A = this chain, B = another copy of it.
Amino acid sequence: MTTGYAYHEVFGWHDTSSAAGLFASDPAAGLQPFVHLENAETKRRLHELVVVSGLIDHLARIPTREATDEEILRVHTPSHLARIAAESELPKGGDAGDGISPFGHGGLAIARRAAGTVITCVDAVLDGAVDNAYALVRPPGHHAIAASGMGFCMFGNLAIAAAHAKAVRGVARIAVVDWDVHHGNGTQEAFWDDDSVFFASLHQWPFYPGSGGPGDGSSTTLNVPLAAGAGDEEVLGALERDVAPVLEAFDPDLLLVSAGFDAAAGDPIGGLRVSEEGFAALTARAGRICERLAFVLEGGYNTQTLPGLVGSVLAAR
């Protein structure tokens, strides 16, 4: 089995500037400017781990590219794209829409590449060039809605790739599993009225962004809110009991996973407690839902190497 892998060093140049935790800094309010929680090291360390551990030798590198206007506009409004493009020209860059999602000068090109890289990964899977693929991208995407970015996300990377798979590659049925600690509200919104894309999310609730609570669903939208403190047993159990049977019944041609490491124990934002073994089990279970699948990295705010994660990576060699 061949697993594809895509990363570009420019993802580390996405400039989230300084912040005070989850808030904009404000000395008068006692909020010291510090490095933004969603900073380059959170993702770069994972890429370096893939390389240094030797896992890279067992992966097929997939090229990255920037998503085009046409591709982005399948999910987002022209005014959102235009606003990002305009602010990207400013010396200090701008904000994707909610005041906590800053980007630097030239940030548009990096956001285009994050979305485009999920497309190249999906294409590689659909072409059979690889059996499955992992897109290690930055900025993340699953909170971005049609008219705005939010929650550190600029464009809906996974949603854009799903829309591409439908529109260009003619994929009939697509399933999405989102196990980022936050509800994937943007992906949900993008396909709420679209019965050809089934969106299922496991996430801490009540929690940011507030959506995805009990009863928030549709015929092809399934939310499984989890209480703060839930660990492997609860998360794996929910995937096994509540999500997998429904998606298997949906019988997708392609499975996309919003795979956030912010559900990990020790993450400075999230309150779930998934272990590294838990992530490995989640990954293995997803592979049994649909053979053709691609993973997209969403959140993950720990800048320290998780030894267990390393163990998983080493075991995968």
Interface residues of A (CB under 8 A from B): 8-10, 12-13, 15, 17-18, 20-21, 23-34, 37, 41, 45, 47-49, 51-53, 91-95, 99, 102, 104-106, 109-110, 228-229, 265-269, 271, 273, 302-307, 310, 313-314
Contacts and interface: CB of A to CB of B under 8 A. Distances in A.
A280 to B, nearest CB: 15
A307 B32 contact: no
For A17, A25, A32, A267, which residue has the most chain B Cβ atoms within 10 angstroms? A32
Nearest to A18: B15
Given A8-B51, A307-B20, A13 B29 contact: no
Contacts of A32: 13, 45, 48-49, 52, 305
Contact of A305 (B30, B41, B53, B273): B30
A79 B199 CA distance: 53
Nearest to A265: B271
Contact of A273 (B41, B47, B228, B302): B228
Contacts of A307: 20-21, 23, 29, 31
Given A18-B104, A24-B91, A91-B95, A48 B304 contact: no
A110 B27 contact: yes
A21 B104 contact: no
A53 B29 CA distance: 7
Contact of A15 (B33, B52, B267): B33
A195 to B, nearest CB: 38
Contacts of A94: 92
Nearest to A302: B268
A192 B30 CA distance: 40
Nearest to A270: B266
A96 to B, nearest CB: 12
Contact of A21 (B24, B25, B105, B306): B306
A297 to B, nearest CB: 17
A314 B30 contact: yes
